[in-house]
Amino acid sequence: MRWRKFNGETIHLPIKEAVEQTIRRETELGVRMKVCIGTDSQVKGSETEFATVIVFLREHNGGFMYIHNEKTRQQFHIKERMLVEVAKSIEIAYELCDLFIKYNVDMEVHADINTNPHFKSNDALKEAMGYILGMGFAFKAKPEAFASSCCADKVVN
């Protein structure tokens, strides 16, 4: 899996090592952090592109993110695509969760799913919420799910 920073710089370390170095660096600077993980997708013709982000929020001092993009030709119904987004976020959250526990960093998984039943994505809300909470992670949906609906949305090509 290739990850990059928002400025386009490639992260050459395995993502778990890069995240641990980041948490250590910020902690040594006395910064308290929270991490939000989210995924968004966009369908263009026969391809679907997913963007997963790890957003590091510094208490009272902005934030930054690590980004992973991937494309597939697999076709999805809207509900299925929403749940694939959630699965991608959970996959990375699960890989990193022991670091967040070790360094006492709060973490949330954000789902790009609307809480308003008038939107098609709402069909996946119950399943997504159950999946995320069932894994033991804090859950946010739109409009609070900025990691997926704003950050990942900006970096899905």
Task: Judge contact between 89 and 152, C-beta under 8 A.
Answer: no
Tens digits of residue pLDDT in 26-35: 999 999 999 9
What is the dihedral sign for C-alpha 17, 22, 28, 30?
A: negative
Report the alpha-carbon distance of residue 26 to residue 132 in Å, rounded.
27
Between the alpha carbon of residue 126 and those of residues 83, 110, 129, 145, the distances in Å are 10, 14, 5, 15
What is the pLDDT, as a whole number, of residue 1?
Answer: 79
Instruction: Tally the domains of the chain.
Output: 1
Answer with the residue of higher pLDDT: 150 or 35.
35
Between the alpha carbon of residue 17 and those of residues 12, 28, 95, 96, the distances in Å are 10, 16, 11, 9
Q: What is the three-class DSSP state of 83?
A: helix
Report the alpha-carbon distance of residue 12 to residue 30 in Å, rounded.
26
**Which residues constitute the domain of residue 79?**
3-155
pTM: 0.94
Between the alpha carbon of residue 31 and those of residues 18, 53, 76, the distances in Å are 17, 20, 41
Residue 157 reports pLDDT greater than 80: no
